[in-house]
Amino acid sequence: MNEMIDEILASCKDEIQKSINHQLNEYMVVRAGRANPHILDKVFIDYYGVPTPLKNMASITVPEARMLCVSVWDQSQVKNVIKAISMADLGVTPNDDGKVIRLVFPALTEERRKDLVKDIKKIAEEAKIGVRGARRDAMEMIEDLQKNGEISEDEQTNAEKEVQKIIDNACDKIDENFKAKEKEIMEV
């Protein structure tokens, strides 16, 4: 196949991988009945005027299935960390014993599980939208190559089939990720 087509396919694969990685990163933050340190990834603390991720200021451990312990390295910042966690709206109330902040996650209700499944379905749809955007871009570039006489119609057809194959595989992967996360959430 033509070098330009190879570049287009490589670019398309990169864009698709970004969409899939985004889906997986978003799924890490979704709480599925178990405590997951990644749920705190989006918590930032105003540390001497600099927004700092919590993971850069504390060690986060999982002593039990539904509990996270946050040990803040700079004890003067414990109050700020508690405030930031409370404002992050994670569905938990931080408990502070002076040394460690404990986050106890309640068991998920059936209704909450169904809501979470809807949320992860939206994330999967967003990933598919990103994949379709990559397909559109690749198809337009291939069409332009053919219009400019740089490739033949047969090469265009073969390249478009290859793009579609890549897209179908990506959509299958997104669906697999969704089903795995759905199973994890609905597990009691």
pLDDT tens-digit readout, 112-133: 888 889 989 999 999 999 999 9
Q: For the whole model, what pTM was predicted?
A: 0.72
- Terminal-to-terminal C-alpha distance of the chain: 51
Residue ranges of domains in the chain: 3-29+109-186, 37-104
The pair of three-digit structure tokens given for residue 81, joined into one six-digit string = 């960390």
- Give the residue, 99 or 155, on which the prediction is more confident: 155
What average pLDDT does range 58-70 have in this prediction?
Answer: 87
d(CA 8, CA 3): 9
pLDDT tens-digit readout, 139-179: 999 999 989 888 888 999 999 999 999 999 999 999 999 99
Using an 8 Å Cβ cutoff, are 104 and 173 in contact? no
Q: Is 49 left (phi over 0), alpha (psi -120 to 50) or beta?
A: left
- Cα–Cα distances (Å) from 26 to 69, 114, 119, in that order, read 22, 17, 10
Burial class (CB in 10 A: 0-12, 13-18, 19+), 48: exposed
d(CA 140, CA 159): 11
Residue 187 confidence (pLDDT):
77
DSSP 98: S
What contacts 52, CB < 8 A, 6 or more positions away?
A: 44, 45, 46
Residue 89 pLDDT > 60, yes or no? yes
CATH, domain range 3-29+109-186: 1.10.132.20
Residue 1 pLDDT > 60, yes or no? no
* CATH fold for the domain made of 37-104: Gyrase A; domain 2 (3.30.1360)
pLDDT tens-digit readout, 5-61: 899 999 999 999 999 999 998 888 776 667 778 888 888 888 888 888 888 888 888
